[in-house]
Amino acid sequence: MLHRRWFPDHIDGTKVVLRRHTRDNLSDFMRWYQDPDVARLTRYQDGPMRPDEIERFFTMRAMGQDSLAMGIHIRPSGQIIGSCAFSQLDADNGSVLFHITIGEHDAWGRGYGSEATALMVDHAFTSLGLHRVALSVFAFNERAIHAYERVGFTVEGRAREAIWRDGRWWDELHMSVLEPEWRSARWHARAIADGRAGQSPAKPQPAPASRE
């Protein structure tokens, strides 16, 4: 279980702030997880969870002691748009599983998910001292895969034809990022967290030519 010290009240980014969930967020979870489009991207089952399942999921994943879950709030309005979490913390082996859902459609594709992911991964490596963050994603979820790759995750394996969706089989991809990779790609990761994505790191300036 995570000590409170390792579970901050908030983690601040440029576009988003991650905050610990409160009981009030249940109504947002109800809306997000009854949405068929969110269910299509996140569930093996065909169709959304029932309200009683959502309530159980909220109690366990968002409020439970066995996961580190944060609401994703847009800056500066503070509106909550989704949730991200670590589960299955394996302290002996320094690894954890990452999950994220932005439940508000109009918040997709605006960089919020990449930044929230970068903030969580940074927290895992710099504050929690972990070695590995892993996740799984359906192969048809191109937006998610793109966002994860942008943060530094790479595909390490796949469960072949693990899900039947939209009339065909799809693989489930297993992705991970390791702490040494994160450290060496830190500039890029910080750029996402600071809203500077797309820029290049400043090139070291050559020493002035000596006339001696």
Ligand X SMILES: CC(C)(COP(=O)(O)OP(=O)(O)OC[C@H]1O[C@@H](n2cnc3c(N)ncnc32)[C@H](O)[C@@H]1OP(=O)(O)O)[C@@H](O)C(=O)NCCC(=O)NCCS
List residues near ligand X by CB under 6 A. 38, 41-42, 82, 100-102, 108-114, 137, 141-144, 146-147, 150
Least separation in angstroms between CB 140 and ligand X: 10
Nearer to ligand X, 149 or 181 (CB): 149
Q: Report in angstroms how near the CB of residue 165 gets to ligand X at its nearest.
A: 13
Work out whether the CA dihedral 73, 79, 84, 85 comes out positive or negative. positive
Query: 20 vs 108, which CB is nearer to ligand X?
Result: 108
The least CB distance from residue 139 to ligand X, in Å, is 11
CB-based closest residue to ligand X: 113
Alpha helices (H) in the chain, listed in sequence order: 26-33, 36-42, 51-57, 112-122, 142-151, 179-184, 186-193
Residue with tokens 């995750």: 153
Between 62 and 100, CB nearer to ligand X = 100
> Which of 85/137 has CB closer to ligand X?
137
Q: Is residue 137 within 8 Å of 120, Cβ to Cβ?
A: no
CB 201 to ligand X: min, Å: 17
Q: Which is nearer to ligand X, 42 or 67 (CB)?
A: 42
Cα(128)–Cα(210) distance, integer angstroms: 47
**Backbone φ and ψ of 155, nearest 5°:** -75, 125
Name the nearest CA neighbour of 79 among 107, 41, 117, 55. 107
Q: Shortest gap between Cβ of 38 and ligand X (angstroms)?
A: 5
